[in-house]
């Protein structure tokens, strides 16, 4: 699947999960009066979560990443690039990052992941897992890029987070 289409699908699925989750929350407020609607919304949420959380199914993807499947590595990197936000998406990203750290990454994968980490920093993301991944995929060019961001960033939060990432990489 084309990169733009994959990212679009990931983000559309995140929207669907958020909608289903909101239905669960809304119906839970009326649970005493209408438990059928709440049960239906909850069942629908749980039944669709695995397929919507990651293209092709979250459980399948995590198993394939454990087996170092190159196509799944590609999809996992696109997933991190898309950076979807929904119920438990942060935990999913952490699992993916942990598995990517154990994977055999091509030079192209490393460049893609470095771009993902830089984009994450620039939008204010702060995750120790991203720092640990940075340590695995470090290159002199990446370290120079981080140092450049630290010198030129206008927001103190970005500067501080780059310092943390560099400390993990160089520490």
Q: What is the pLDDT of residues 125-137, one digit of tens each?
A: 878 899 999 999 9
- Identify the pLDDT of residue 61: 98
Confidence category of residue 29, pLDDT binned at 50, 70, 90: confident
158 membership: H or E segment, kind and range: helix 156-170
Kindly state the percentage of the chain with pLDDT values over 90. 87
Kindly state the percentage of the chain with pLDDT values over 70. 99
Rounded-to-integer distance, Cα 61 and Cα 65, Å: 6
Q: Do the Cβ atoms of 97 and 129 come closer than 8 Å?
A: yes
Rounded-to-integer distance, Cα 163 and Cα 114, Å: 16
Tokens of 68: 């170092």
Confidence check: pLDDT of 1 > 80: no
Confidence check: pLDDT of 53 > 90: yes
CA distances from 103 to 51, 75, 139 (A): 23, 13, 17
What is the per-residue pLDDT across 76-123, written as a single tens digit (0 to 9) for each?
999 999 999 999 999 999 999 999 999 999 999 999 999 999 999 998
- Identify the pLDDT of residue 36: 87
- Identify the pLDDT of residue 77: 97
């Amino acid at each position: 699947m084309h990169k733009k289409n994959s990212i679009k699908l990931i983000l559309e699925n995140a929207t669907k999960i958020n909608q289903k989750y909101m239905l669960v929350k809304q119906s839970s407020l009326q649970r005493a009066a209408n438990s059928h609607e709440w049960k239906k919304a909850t069942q629908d949420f749980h039944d669709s979560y695995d397929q919507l959380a990651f293209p092709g199914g979250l459980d399948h993807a995590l198993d394939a990443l454990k087996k170092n499947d190159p196509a799944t590595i590609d999809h996992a990197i696109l997933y991190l690039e898309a950076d979807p936000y929904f119920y438990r998406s942060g935990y999913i990203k952490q699992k993916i990052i942990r598995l990517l750290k154990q994977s055999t990454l091509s030079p192209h994968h490393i460049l893609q992941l470095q771009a993902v980490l830089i984009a994450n920093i620039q939008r204010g993301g702060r995750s120790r897992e991203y720092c640990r991944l940075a340590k695995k995929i470090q290159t002199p060019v990446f370290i120079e890029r981080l140092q450049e961001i630290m010198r030129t960033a206008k927001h103190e939060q970005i500067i501080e987070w780059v310092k943390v990432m560099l400390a993990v990489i160089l520490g």
